[in-house]
């Protein structure tokens, strides 16, 4: 009997968060869902982060993905945009870590390369290829949700290959890989990550 697992792909953002779900049966993938979380109407940046966290947890609790693939922020020239994207990615990852779902990060270029064979492909080209690969009847008007789906498909294609993205199997793994842990197992002082397990209520 072929093994089955579900992959949740996420394209984080503070304007739109795109996500897609695929089921892997043996060596084949099946489309499950793609959608987006619209955040344009909210002005409070911290409220947006809260909604991203809650939506990600809801997706995990509803669909029980075995693995999460997330698109890493693109390093552009706008520092403020990078900071916001990094925070959006961080809370989505925190949601996955809180449910102990293994997470793998992929750069936008790696995802495009996996789907189209071209690391500089446009959103439209990626979406059209996904439509062909997964036999989608139609594409959404906003292609951010297909970016989330692309992350999941990229992860499927890279199973069994040499790892090309950062992977985390839980909070301890995340701390270790990001050099935040001392030799005695505690968190280093003055690091930018707060251990949410030990955070005191104000």
In a domain, 101, yes or no: yes
pLDDT of residue 202: 38
C-alpha angle 146-151-157 in degrees, rounded to nearest 5: 120
User: How many percent of the chain have pLDDT more than 90?
Assistant: 64
In a domain, 183, yes or no: no
Please confirm, yes or no, whether 44 is among the known catalytic residues. Answer: no
Binding residues: 11, 71, 144
C-alpha angle 94-40-141 in degrees, rounded to nearest 5: 100
CA distances for 177 relative to 51, 103, 141, 155, 171, angstroms: 27, 12, 38, 19, 10
pTM: 0.79
| Catalytic residue (choose from 67, 105, 144, 147) | 144
In a domain, 160, yes or no: yes
| Catalytic residue (choose from 11, 67, 105, 147) | 11
In a domain, 201, yes or no: no
In a domain, 180, yes or no: no
In a domain, 40, yes or no: yes
In a domain, 176, yes or no: no
Range of the domain at 52: 4-169
> Which of 157, 177, 154 minimizes the C-alpha distance to 10?
154
Cross-sheet strand order for the sheet of 16-25: 28-38, 16-25, 4-11, 67-71, 103-106, 167-168
Q: What is the pLDDT along the chain (202 residues), one digit of tens a residue?
A: 668 999 999 999 999 999 999 999 988 999 999 999 999 999 999 999 999 999 999 999 999 999 999 999 876 667 888 888 899 999 999 999 999 999 999 999 999 999 999 999 999 999 999 999 999 999 988 887 899 999 999 999 998 653 444 555 544 554 555 554 555 555 555 544 333 334 334 3
Q: For the chain, what is the mean pLDDT?
A: 83
Q: What is the 3-state secondary structure (H, E, C) of the chain?
A: CCCEEEEEEEECCCCEEEEEEEEEECCEEEEEEEEEEECCCCCCHHHHHHHHHHHHHHHHHHHCCCEEEEECCCCCCCHHHHHHHHHHHHHHHHHHHHCCCCEEEECHHHHHHHHHCCCCCCHHHHHHHHHHHHCCCCCCCCCHHHHHHHHHHHHHHCCCCCCCCCEECCHHHHHHHCCCECCCCCECCCCCCCCCCCCCCC
Q: How many structural domains comprise the chain?
A: 1
Binding residues for Mg(2+): 11, 71, 144
In a domain, 106, yes or no: yes
pLDDT tens readout for residues 80-124: 888 888 999 999 999 999 999 999 999 999 999 999 999 999 999
The CATH number for 139's domain is 3.30.420.10
Please confirm, yes or no, whether 144 is among the known catalytic residues. Answer: yes
pLDDT of residue 49: 97
Burial (CB < 10 A; 0-12, 13-18, 19+), residue 55, is: buried
| Catalytic residue (choose from 36, 71, 105, 147) | 71
């Amino acid at each position: 009997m072929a093994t089955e697992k579900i992959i949740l792909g996420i394209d984080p953002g503070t304007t739109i968060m795109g996500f897609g779900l695929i089921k892997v049966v043996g060596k084949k993938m099946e489309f499950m869902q793609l959608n987006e979380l619209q955040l344009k109407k909210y002005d409070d940046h911290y409220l947006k982060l809260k909604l991203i966290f809650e939506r990600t947890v809801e997706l995990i609790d509803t669909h029980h993905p075995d693995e999460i693939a997330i698109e890493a922020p693109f390093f552009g020239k706008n520092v403020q945009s990078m900071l916001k994207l990094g925070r959006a990615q961080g809370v989505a990852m925190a949601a996955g870590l809180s449910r102990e779902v293994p997470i793998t990060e992929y750069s936008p270029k790696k995802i495009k390369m996996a789907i189209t064979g071209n690391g500089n492909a446009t959103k439209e080209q990626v979406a059209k290829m996904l439509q062909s690969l997964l036999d989608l009847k139609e594409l959404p008007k906003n292609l951010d949700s297909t970016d989330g789906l692309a992350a999941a498909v990229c992860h499927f294609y890279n199973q069994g290959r040499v790892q090309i993205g950062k992977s985390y199997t839980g909070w301890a793994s995340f701390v270790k890989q990001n050099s935040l842990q001392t030799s005695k197992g505690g968190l280093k002082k003055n690091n930018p990550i707060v251990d949410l397990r030990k955070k005191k209520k104000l």
